[in-house]
């Protein structure tokens, strides 16, 4: 049976992934944790397209812009576009929040400030009858001679209808 959330419950924070969460979510979180040893945030050297091949179509990349205190969407995964029917590439997280009455910016900021993954069960904003698991994984883009750039990899994995 599908669970519908009120507007305040579109994004329900989770401490851990449930055992019945999509396998891809468990695998991607394990991949992130493998590179987050000793409290370090993984780098883009770890998160290459080759290393991310199993999840590449499920990932969007958000890059933090300190001057705007916002996250710009650099890449939208093909499966996310197919799931939502929308491509927000180039937009900022606060625009998504305004459009869907969500707290994406706050969740991305928490990932950035803590350096820890954020896990949510969420209602797919465009399809309120669908639920999914969203991972927000902070990653550093190191640039020689420049300040590191914070990126957050967002992945959404739909829950099967039996789990929803």
Could you tell me if residue 82 is inside a domain?
yes
What CATH number is attached to the domain comprising 151? Answer: 3.30.450.20
Could you tell me if residue 151 is inside a domain?
yes
- For 20-31, the pLDDT digits (tens) are 999 999 999 999
Could you tell me if residue 96 is inside a domain?
yes
- For 92-116, the pLDDT digits (tens) are 999 999 988 889 999 999 999 999 9
Q: How confident is the model at residue 125 (pLDDT cuts 50, 70, 90)?
A: low
Could you tell me if residue 110 is inside a domain?
yes
Q: How confident is the model at residue 154 (pLDDT cuts 50, 70, 90)?
A: very high
Phi, psi (degrees; rounded to nearest 5) at 3: -105, 125
Could you tell me if residue 45 is inside a domain?
no
- For 31-72, the pLDDT digits (tens) are 999 999 877 899 999 999 999 999 999 999 999 999 999 999
Domains in the chain: how many in total?
A: 1
d(CA 53, CA 69): 30
pTM for the predicted model, two decimal places: 0.89
Residue 104, domain extent:
14-31+58-158
Could you tell me if residue 40 is inside a domain?
no
Does residue 11 or residue 64 have the better pLDDT?
A: 64
């Amino acid at each position: 049976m599908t669970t519908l959330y009120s507007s305040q419950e579109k994004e329900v924070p989770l401490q851990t992934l449930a055992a019945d969460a999509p396998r891809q979510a468990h695998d991607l979180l394990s991949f992130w944790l493998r590179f987050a040893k000793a409290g370090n945030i993984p780098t883009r050297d770890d998160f290459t397209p080759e290393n991310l091949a199993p999840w590449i179509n499920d990932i969007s990349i958000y890059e933090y812009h300190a001057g705007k205190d916002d996250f710009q969407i650099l890449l939208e995964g093909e499966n996310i576009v197919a799931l939502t029917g929308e491509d927000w590439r180039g937009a900022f997280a606060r625009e998504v929040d305004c459009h869907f009455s969500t707290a994406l910016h706050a969740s991305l900021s928490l990932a950035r400030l803590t350096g820890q993954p954020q896990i949510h069960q969420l209602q797919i904003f465009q399809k309120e009858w669908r639920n999914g698991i969203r991972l927000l994984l902070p990653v550093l883009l190191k640039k020689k001679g420049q300040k590191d750039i914070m990126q957050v990899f967002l992945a959404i994995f739909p829950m099967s209808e039996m789990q929803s």
